[in-house]
Amino acid sequence: MAGAGTVELRQPWLSHSSLAGHVEVCNQLTNLWTISRFLGWKRDMIYRMAILKKEKTFAADQSARVNDAYRTLNKSLSRALYLMRLEGVHVDEEKTVMDPDLLAEMMDIREAVEEASDSHALKQLQTQIERKFEAWANSFREAFKRKNFDDAINSIQRMRYYDRAIEEIIKKL
C-alpha cells in the first residue's frame, strides 16, 4: 500500500510516463481531428463557392438573355424583325427602298428637322412621324397574320425609315 496522498497504480502498463505518452497521442489525435474537420469544412466551402459561382454565372447569363429579349420585344421594329426570323424569313436590314414617294418624304422630313426653330415644332413633327410609323407597324401585323411576307418586309423597311427619322428628331431635341 502506498503512503497517504499518493495513488497506487495497480496496472503496471498505466504509469505516469505511459499516461503522458497517451495524453500526447490524444492531443495529436485531437489536433488531427480538428484539422480534418477544418479541411472538411474548407472543402465544403470551396464546393459551395464553386456552386454559387456557377449559379451566379447562370443567373447572370439568364438575366442578360431576359434583358435582350425585353429590348427586342419592347420595340415594334425589332419585334417585327424577330418575328420574321422565327418564320425563317430573312429581312435585309441594309436594303434601300426604291419607292420615290417614300424617299422624297424622307428628304422633306430631314429638311423639316433641320429647319425646325424650336422644340415645339420638333415634337409636332415627331408626333406626325410616329403616327406614320404606327400605321406601318399595323400594316406589318396584318401582313404577318396573313403570312404575306413580301408585304411584311415592305412594312418593316418603311418602319425602319420612320424609326431613323424619329431618332434624328430625338437627337436634335
Check whether residue 56 and residue 121 sit in a common domain.
no
Check whether residue 42 and residue 123 sit in a common domain.
no
pLDDT at 23: 58
**What is the dihedral sign for C-alpha 95, 98, 99, 100?**
positive
Give residue 157's Cα distance to chain centre.
Answer: 29
Tens of pLDDT, residue by residue, the chain (173 residues)? 455 555 554 555 555 555 555 556 566 667 777 777 777 788 888 888 888 888 889 888 998 898 898 999 999 999 999 999 999 999 998 888 889 999 999 999 999 999 988 999 999 999 999 999 999 999 999 999 999 999 999 999 999 999 999 999 999 98
**Residue holding cell 415627331?**
126
Whole-angstrom distance, CA of residue 107 vs CA of residue 29: 88
Q: What is the pLDDT of residues 58-84, one digit of tens each?
A: 888 998 898 898 999 999 999 999 999
Q: How many CB atoms lie within 10 A of CB 15?
A: 11
Check whether residue 81 and residue 153 sit in a common domain.
yes
Q: What is the pTM (predicted TM-score) of this model?
A: 0.68
Give residue 98's Cα distance to chain centre.
Answer: 38
Whole-angstrom distance, CA of residue 82 vs CA of residue 69: 10
Secondary structure letter of residue 97 according to DSSP: P
Give the domain range for residue 83: 76-172
Secondary structure letter of residue 92 according to DSSP: -
Q: How many domains does the chain have?
A: 2
pLDDT at 135: 98
